[in-house]
């Protein structure tokens, strides 16, 4: 079970990186002054009136004018700009998983508050997490500082035996080998937009092939690092993303639904996951680390 939990953590990290990668690197076209009417599912007469002056310009700027993908792309570019300008942020996330193993179902919910300052080699992070499983509430805090991860869970304080840079150097691996999934237009199976009170709801169904390839690479990387990646098969069957934009076409929150199977240690587990996240604050974030990080035992 410990190995299963470790692997699930890797899957969650991959999905989290995928979501953030698509926000930070979305291939945005040049935004026009009023991109919203082209994608907002309002009556055609209203759209035509609003676009009368800028129709020719918008058609030139938007490679797939009027689709939910374009509106989502522009919203993600706004988030990326805020993240780059602020260099720190706080994000909330709730993850609900239902795991089916040997005919028995296990319901798990994780509530996380993620604080990050800086980026790249200088990044600092704090993740406050509460996991509810089998009627038990398990609090955990994860710190990341100077390339080392620390974990404080239910009285146990642990740290990585070496920094991430040292670990990668030992196995001759570069951070360039880690490539979060970046879904593109060709990966979209279906998409739709609908007006809701206060904004727009965008829905995408994605081809899971890109995520499956990324998970295969991640398991190979874990095996190279001497961790738990050997003889593991993880396969996503479906991925759906729902994004809520406000009336200014700014991202309010995102949800990602997925179903996947995981085979490890001779056990086959089917997992349904609902992952929601929203950015709470840009800029002005400070992280207070415990004074006794050096005393955390190595794992």
**pLDDT for res 162:** 63
Report the range of poorest mean pLDDT among 70-74, 194-198, 209-213, 280-284: 209-213
**pLDDT for res 182:** 61
Q: Please check the confidence at residue 225 and state whether its pLDDT lies above 90.
A: no
More confident residue, 165 or 269: 269
235 to 184, 210, 225, 284: CA distances (angstroms):
20, 11, 22, 39
Q: Where are the beta strands (DSSP E) in the chain?
A: 88-101, 104-117, 124-133, 136-145, 148-153, 156-159, 188-196, 199-206, 233-246, 251-264, 267-282, 297-298
Q: Please check the confidence at residue 35 and state whether its pLDDT lies above 80.
A: no
Q: Please check the confidence at residue 11 and state whether its pLDDT lies above 80.
A: no
Closest to 177 (Cα-Cα) out of 214, 127, 208, 149: 214
More confident residue, 40 or 232: 232
Binned at pLDDT 50, 70 and 90, residue 7 comes out as: low
Question: For 109, left (φ over 0), alpha (ψ -120 to 50), or beta?
Answer: beta
Report the range of poorest mean pLDDT among 2-6, 68-72, 191-195, 273-277: 2-6
Instruction: Indicate the SS3 state at residue 293.
Output: helix
What mean pLDDT do residues 181-193 have? 77
What mean pLDDT do residues 71-98 have? 89
Closest to 37 (Cα-Cα) out of 16, 65, 18: 65
**pLDDT for res 69:** 81
Most confident segment among 22-31, 117-126, 180-189, 278-287: 278-287
What mean pLDDT do residues 221-228 have? 57
What mean pLDDT do residues 148-172 have? 74
**pLDDT for res 60:** 29
Question: 276 pairs with which residues across the strands?
Answer: 94, 255
What mean pLDDT do residues 69-83 have? 86
The whole-angstrom separation of Cα 88 and Cα 283 is 5
Q: 52 CB contacts (<8 Å, ≥6 apart)?
A: none
Six-digit token pair at 227? 């961790």
Task: Tell me the pLDDT of the chain averaged across its residues.
Answer: 75
β pairing state of 267-282 and 251-264? antiparallel
Q: What is the pLDDT of residues 87-118, one digit of tens each?
A: 899 999 999 999 888 788 889 899 999 999 98
**pLDDT for res 281:** 92
Closest to 296 (Cα-Cα) out of 164, 147, 163, 161: 161
Instruction: Indicate the SS3 state at residue 84.
Output: helix
What mean pLDDT do residues 232-259 have? 89
Closest to 277 (Cα-Cα) out of 245, 253, 250: 253
Report yes or no: 254 and 242 within 8 Å, Cβ to Cβ.
yes
More confident residue, 102 or 7: 102
Six-digit token pair at 69? 């993908």
What mean pLDDT do residues 240-254 have? 91
Q: Please check the confidence at residue 232 and state whether its pLDDT lies above 80.
A: no
Report the range of poorest mean pLDDT among 60-74, 193-207, 246-260, 279-293: 60-74
Binned at pLDDT 50, 70 and 90, residue 67 comes out as: confident
Report yes or no: 131 and 148 within 8 Å, Cβ to Cβ.
no
Q: Helix, strand, coil proportions of the chain in percent (round to 5)? A: 30, 40, 25
């Amino acid at each position: 079970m410990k190995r299963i939990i470790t692997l699930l953590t890797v899957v969650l990290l991959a999905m989290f990186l995928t979501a953030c990668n698509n926000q930070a690197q979305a291939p945005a076209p040049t935004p026009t002054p009023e991109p919203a009417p082209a994608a907002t599912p309002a009556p055609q007469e209203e759209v035509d009136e609003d676009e009368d002056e800028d129709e020719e310009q918008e058609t030139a700027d938007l490679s797939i004018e009027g689709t939910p993908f374009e509106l989502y792309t522009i919203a993600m570019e706004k988030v990326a700009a805020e993240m780059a300008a602020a260099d720190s942020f706080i994000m909330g996330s709730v993850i609900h998983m239902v795991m089916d193993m040997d005919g028995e179902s296990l319901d798990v919910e994780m509530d996380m508050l993620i604080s990050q300052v800086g980026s790249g080699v200088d990044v600092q992070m704090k993740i406050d997490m509460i996991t509810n499983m089998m009627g038990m509430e398990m609090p955990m805090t994860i710190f990341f500082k100077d390339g080392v991860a620390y974990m404080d869970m239910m009285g146990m304080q642990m740290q990585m035996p070496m920094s991430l840079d040292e670990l990668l150097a030992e196995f001759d691996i570069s951070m360039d080998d880690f490539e979060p999934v970046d879904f593109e237009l060709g990966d979209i199976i279906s998409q739709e937009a609908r007006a809701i009170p206060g904004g727009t709801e965008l829905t995408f169904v994605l081809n899971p092939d890109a995520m499956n390839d990324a998970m295969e690479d991640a398991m190979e990387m874990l095996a190279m690092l001497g961790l738990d990646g050997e003889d593991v098969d993880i396969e996503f069957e479906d991925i759906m993303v729902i994004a809520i934009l406000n009336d200014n076409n700014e991202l309010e929150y995102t949800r990602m639904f997925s179903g996947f199977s995981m085979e490890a240690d001779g056990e086959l587990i089917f997992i349904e996951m609902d992952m929601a996240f929203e950015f709470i604050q840009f800029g002005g974030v400070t992280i207070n680390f415990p004074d006794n990080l050096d005393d955390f035992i190595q794992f």
